[in-house]
Structure 1
Amino acid sequence: MIPKVSILIPNYNHKPYLQQRLDTVFGQTFQDFEVILLDDASTDGSQEVLERYRNHPKVAHLIMNSNNSGSPFKQWQKGIDLAKGEYIWIAESDDYCELSFLESLLARMNKETGICYSQSIDVDESGKTLLNRIDYTKEFDPNIWKADFEISGLEFIEKYFIIKSVIPNASAVIFRRKLVHESIFRKELLKMKMCGDWFFWLQITLETNVGFLAKDLNYFRYHGKVSRNHTTLKKKKQRLIEEGITRSFFLKNYNLGNKSSEKYYYKKWFRLHQLSSILKPSFYKGKLFKTSIFTFINNFLFFKVRKYKSKL
């Protein structure tokens, strides 16, 4: 019997949070699903937790890599290739959710809706609330995330998604498996460490409607090992580079963008200019170049803005 939903749980060194993740998956009020467990060569003993579920009736696959793949999105690709369900939920192993998550989101889906997601709460290691994501979108007027909505993918991208990643956590999303074509996992995506999910959502959003449920059903975990923690200069640089690659790809290939996007580019360029001006050449410690990589990105984005502006 083909399940309605395929739930992927890709794990890497999230043993402290893994049991809570598994409990909130297997305990869902909606039970027509299969689970695909993936471990990317964890070194923290996560495999011991996952092994206990090898023979669970809901577990269709348990795959443990002997070597780390180097990309969480290679794990996404592997899981999606194995999935049989009409819908896919990538339940990241350090997050958790309400037990009504699947039931609530599936109730919002219709034949035009290919992606649906809920509001998220950011929490720390112990589950203490850090941020309600309604504040993450407060710059938009109106802040459409204050209520449930459905919108065409193209409008969603042009008004909001090209400006910033307004689907901030994969764990909050269910989507139709048929939207994932082989070309989606292109080299740009598989090389990314921080913006790959944004790149992924942008590609599948183009082909469908997006639904949103304003209910707080997903808990987005922040902790010391999380890849989305941008506390170091190296990670901040990597994030900015990947943001530039993502916007550049979609503006070039799909002719997307509007006045809001233009304003955002100028704002980003100015911020990069400020950052590059305070970095010292000595930071690079013997590397062959003395110019800050931020300066390179500044120039790249500045010319992108000029080229884009000429088309408006």
Structure 2
Amino acid sequence: MIVVKTVGELQNVVKEHRQGGARIGFVPTMGALHAGHLSLVDEAARSCDLVVVSIFVNPTQFNNAADLENYPRTLDRDVALLSGTACRLVFAPSVAEMYPEPDTRVFDFGELDKVMEGKHRPGHFNGVAQVVSRLFDMVRPDMAFFGQKDFQQLAIIVQLVKQLQLPVQIVPCPIIREADGLAMSSRNTLLTPEQRKIVPVIAKTLMESCNFAGHRSVKEVKNEVTATVNKSTGLEVEYFDIVDGFSLQSIDNWDKSDYIVGCIAVFAGNVRLIDNIIYKKK
């Protein structure tokens, strides 16, 4: 496995493989890797010849300076984890390498980035679009793999590829969970032992809500999920919305869409966790 830190080194290695007929798979990450990330690498290896993983904490997608500062950075550990996978090339650039000049591009995603994460983290998805489009331009992958835990981000990236007419196939991959149901996330490492014992209630509540979704009104399900999570000391729901899985707009009736997803953001102290559950998909 090769670790490179410059765009030139990255493109030289990718070019060599591509000239040999290799299909390029790409897994962009912000590091602090866990089994969820490794599952993306495994999925990429099933259909690609060269798997590239980027590790870069992107400053333009953070609207909270403290969140950026506290985001875990564990490059040596990440590289060690990847060495046991099908990954053959790691791109770990500096901020100066990624942004030799400020990126002032502003993207228009219509209503996709105005709700949920976009509403509570203004500018976040514009920063995501900036870094992902840059990475796609640098790596030029045939396929790119993203986890469905970041459900709204995935929708944004699909739209980004359409807008820029990029020749890359976006592959959504299932949420990977801990044994107690907690969605794997790099932010989980920031939880205290006490918080870690409590947070599985988020996934548990979402999964249990599937038992009565459709039998109760959308509003009742939203209220029930929010109240149940908030009952746990130390947890506070920032939002829970039930949306059309394509438009990401709120629905008020189970018959309004054939693809319905519940998306939640919860604070455990200062640690912000997100998760989602699919209620309906045809």
TM range (shorter): 0.3 to 0.5
TM-score w.r.t. the length of structure 2 is: 0.33
- Who wins on radius of gyration, i.e. which is larger? 1
TM superposition score normalised by structure 1: 0.31
